[in-house]
């Protein structure tokens, strides 16, 4: 599992400039350019479909993901195999529950937890990064030392130690995942803040006597948003895998609530009899992460180019 794998290099190194309101024509140019990155667009489209399917699960499938056990209809294969039925298009599991329904509802948990955690991680990272970069001095050195240690720390082990004691529930998972994801955002935000502080318009604002809170809000925050959107995307993808990994070893989302991780965990026992139990949720998981990463990569290029222009 790859909790510590959020060290995909983030390279948005173009010189930072103020972000004036874009001209209508410039906006159109952006779109034309984005079209060249078809991969990112296709991924964004697929991701939208996945999110819609997951969010609208009650309208798509009539089955109940947790109850609805029916031991007569156990291990029904997907509809295209002999013995399959369109009533359960992707088959049923060991307790006769509909796999499609469980995958869709499971996505709500998996994506929801990762979404909240990555957003909280971004907020925490931005706060720490801005304070560190703008205030400087001792707070800066202390906070950056902390991030050094944090990066060097085996996060999964820490998470397991906490879960061993306090048990696991979605709020605990969100807290732990937030703590695992904030560091990169903090570092990148700090670096960006340092650059922005030296720009003419920020110095002008300081000379004019604007209060620090106003400078940060009006002049620093807009300049760090794009970098953080890219980072948020990559964190989101990583945390989806983190959640599913924890659920997979039985220390994440607890059954009967479905999550992609614990569905895959259950499927281990029935590998021999029911291949679809391990393939369907895994495919959903991989497709989602693949799309999130592709969108992140495209956004990264977009942001770099935007800063270049």
Chain positions contacting another protein, by CB under 8 A: 1-5, 7-9, 148-149, 151-158, 160-166, 237, 241, 244-245, 248-251, 264, 267-268, 271-272, 275, 278-279, 282, 285-286, 289-290, 293-294
End-to-end CA distance of the chain: 39
Instruction: Give min distance, CB of 244 to another protein, in A.
Output: 6
Instruction: Give min distance, CB of 156 to another protein, in A.
Output: 5
Looking at the Cβ atoms of 4 and 94, the one nearer to another protein is 4
Looking at the Cβ atoms of 135 and 166, the one nearer to another protein is 166
Looking at the Cβ atoms of 7 and 70, the one nearer to another protein is 7
Looking at the Cβ atoms of 221 and 249, the one nearer to another protein is 249
Instruction: Give min distance, CB of 146 to another protein, in A.
Output: 11
Contact 230, 125 (CB under 8 A): no
Instruction: Give min distance, CB of 9 to another protein, in A.
Output: 8
207-213 long-range Cβ contacts below 8 angstroms, 24+ apart: 212/134
What SS3 string covers the chain? CCHHHCCCCCCCCCCCCCCCCCCHHHHHHHHHHHHHCHHHHHHHHHHHHHHHHHHCHHHHCCCCCCCCCCHHHCCCCCCCCCCCCCCCCCCECCCCCEHHHHHHHHHHHHHHHHHHHHHHHHHHHHHHHHHHHHHCHHHHHHHHHHHHHHHHCCHHHHHHHHHHHHCCCHHHHHHHHHHHHHHHHHHHHHHHHHHHHCCHHHHHHHHCCCCHHHHHHHHHHHHHHHHHHHHHHHHHHHHHHHHHHHHHCCCCCCCCCCCHHHHHHHHHHHCCCCHHHHHHHHHHHHHHHHHHHHHHHHHHHHHHHHHHC
Looking at the Cβ atoms of 195 and 221, the one nearer to another protein is 195
Other residues' Cβ atoms within 10 Å of the Cβ of residue 146: 14
Looking at the Cβ atoms of 225 and 290, the one nearer to another protein is 290
Instruction: Give min distance, CB of 306 to another protein, in A.
Output: 20
Instruction: Give min distance, CB of 280 to another protein, in A.
Output: 11
Looking at the Cβ atoms of 216 and 277, the one nearer to another protein is 277
Instruction: Give min distance, CB of 68 to another protein, in A.
Output: 25
Phi, psi of 238 (to 5 degrees): -65, -40
- Please give the structure tokens belonging to residue 1: 């599992």
- Please give the structure tokens belonging to residue 86: 């369109």
Instruction: Give min distance, CB of 59 to another protein, in A.
Output: 28
């Amino acid at each position: 599992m790859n909790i510590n794998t959020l060290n995909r290099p983030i390279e948005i190194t173009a010189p930072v400039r103020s972000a004036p309101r874009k001209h209508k024509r410039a906006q159109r140019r952006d779109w034309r350019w984005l079209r060249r990155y078809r991969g990112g667009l296709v991924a964004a489209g697929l991701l939208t479909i996945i999110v819609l399917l997951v969010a609208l699960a009650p309208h798509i499938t009539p089955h109940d993901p947790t109850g609805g056990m029916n031991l007569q209809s156990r291990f029904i294969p997907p509809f295209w195999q002999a013995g399959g039925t369109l009533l359960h298009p992707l088959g049923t599991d060991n307790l006769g529950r509909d796999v499609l329904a469980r995958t869709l509802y499971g996505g709500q948990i998996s994506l929801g937890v990762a979404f909240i955690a990555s957003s909280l991680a971004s907020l925490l990272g931005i706060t720490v990064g801005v304070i560190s970069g703008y205030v400087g001095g001792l707070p800066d050195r202390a906070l950056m030392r902390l991030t050094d240690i944090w990066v060097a720390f085996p996060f999964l082990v820490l998470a397991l130690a906490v879960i061993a004691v306090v048990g696991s529930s979605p709020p605990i998972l969100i807290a732990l995942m937030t703590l695992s994801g904030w560091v990169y955002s903090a570092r990148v935000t700090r670096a960006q803040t340092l650059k922005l502080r030296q720009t003419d318009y920020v110095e002008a604002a300081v000379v004019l006597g604007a209060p620090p809170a106003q400078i940060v809000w009006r002049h620093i925050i807009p300049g760090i948003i794009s970098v953080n959107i890219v980072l948020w995307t990559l964190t989101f993808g990583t945390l989806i895998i983190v959640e599913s990994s924890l659920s997979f070893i039985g220390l994440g989302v607890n059954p009967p609530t479905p999550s992609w991780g614990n569905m895959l965990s259950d499927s281990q026992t029935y590998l021999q009899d029911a291949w679809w139990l391990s393939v369907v949720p895994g495919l959903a998981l991989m497709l989602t992460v693949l799309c999130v990463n592709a969108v992140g990569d495209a956004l990264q290029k977009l942001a770099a180019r935007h800063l270049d222009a």
